[in-house]
Amino acid sequence: MGTYHCQSLVQRIPAAELAAVADVTSAAAGRAAAFAPGAQATTEPESLLADPSIKAVVIASPNDTHARFIEEAARAGKHVFCEKPIALDLDSADAALAEVQRRRVKLQIGFQRRFDAAYRRAREAIAAGELGHLELIAGTTRDPKPPSLAQLRRSGGLFTDTAIHDLDAVRFLSGLEATEVYATASRLVLPEGGDEGFVDTAIICLRLETGALAVITNSLRAAYGYEVGMEVMGGRGKLAVGQEEQVRLRRYDAEGVRHDHVGWFLDRFGEAYVQELAHFIECVRSDREPEVSGADGRAALVLGLLAQRSAREGRPLAVSGVV
């Protein structure tokens, strides 16, 4: 993701200048920095934070480092774009958010779906009342291949890494907060090994503040590729965001009709990733608050952590108790 963001900053966002790239792997830093002629590559993120000519940072490190890097960057007075999730626990998230507020820097969380044309138009239509009162939301994210156990340990697992996109999308599309969370999950796909209770298949039910209901299903492996979609139903109708086909080619033969399926997340959201970064750069330059705030990052994290606990404890949990 970091490499893609570097490329976007250099090639697609003229208002941005890529000054430096830090990565624990020197070669990776070099590759990403290579997009911009003068960009520096380093394995020391601290050196970037110490550089007064750098105005903003983009954090695309493992999930378990997000909160710490946000906090350090804020302390150094840098504006921050950080991939989701904001943190893997609420204390770290709150510490980071406190520092952001204290230093009056901007923070945008990488919920790129909010910058996808389909989600945006759905949001606008819902906000304009096209659906009437909302009743039922159903969303899904299915990844093509499960991460390794090592990756799961750093990402926090399905609820904080994958489901968090859908949890944010429910909040974004509905404009509503959840009051109760229930989740049930299974481990059907992940390889043997590890006893941290990682799951790969899950259902999350949300009760929203108006009584509207939402359900999210997640799978860490889908044999047919990458699937993301969300339906929002209200008294006047339904909106459905989704994409199956990547290349607009249909094949007809004795077996029937075939088309391809989106293979991975950059095929679906490549442009949204560019747009979210462009928005961040524009906010930094024009001193506006990003549309996706640290509070949004925290709210989705709360739901993700509650879902994780609900699945473990086998009972629905009230949101109010946690926040």
Q: Which of 177, 205, 264, 309 binds a copy of itself (CB under 8 A)?
A: 205
Toward a copy of itself, which CB reaches closer, 38 or 235? 235
Q: How far apart are CA 285 and CA 261, in angstroms?
A: 38
Say how far apart CA 144 and CA 216 lie, in whole Å.
Answer: 17
DSSP 33-45: HTTSTT-EEES-H
127 or 188, CB closer to a copy of itself?
188
Does 133 contact a copy of itself by CB under 8 A? Answer: yes
C-alpha distance from residue 173 to each of 51, 100, 118, 276 (Å): 39, 26, 11, 17
Which 27-56 positions form the footprint of a copy of itself (CB under 8 A)?
35
Binding residue (CB under 8 A) for a copy of itself from 243, 264, 291, 293: 243
Rounded-to-integer distance, Cα 76 and Cα 284, Å = 15
Residue 102 makes contact with a copy of itself by CB under 8 A: no
Instruction: Please choose, out of 42-50, 67-75, 154-162, 196-204, the segment that lies near a copy of itself by the rule CB under 8 A.
Output: 196-204
| Binding-site member from 95, 176, 189, 266 for a copy of itself (CB under 8 A) | 189
Question: For residue 152, which amino acid is it?
Answer: L
Stretch that binds a copy of itself, among 158-166, 182-190, 279-287, 296-304 (CB under 8 A): 182-190
Q: Tell whether residue 317 is a contact of a copy of itself (CB under 8 A).
A: no
Shortest distance (Å) from residue 70 CB to a copy of itself: 30
Determine which residue in the list 202, 277, 300, 319 makes contact with a copy of itself, applying CB under 8 A: 202
Q: By CB under 8 A, tell whether 145 contacts a copy of itself.
A: no
Quick one: which of 125, 149, 176, 266 contacts a copy of itself (CB under 8 A)?
Answer: 125
From 72-80, 103-111, 153-161, 222-230, span contacting a copy of itself (CB under 8 A): 222-230
Instruction: Concatenate the DSSP letters of all residues of 139-158 into one string.
Output: EEEE-SSPPPHHHHHHH--H
CB of 181 to a copy of itself, least distance (A): 10
Enter the tokens of residue 135. Answer: 């009743």
Q: Specify the stretch interacting with a copy of itself by CB under 8 A; choose among 15-23, 86-94, 231-239, 275-283.
A: 231-239
Instruction: Report the C-alpha gap between 62 and 282 in whole angstroms.
Output: 26
Cα end-to-end span (Å), the chain:
30
Please give the angle made by the CA atoms of 89, 219 and 266, to the nearest 5 degrees.
Answer: 85
Tokens of 222: 């889908």
The separation between CA 210 and the C-alpha centre of its own chain, rounded to angstroms, equals: 25
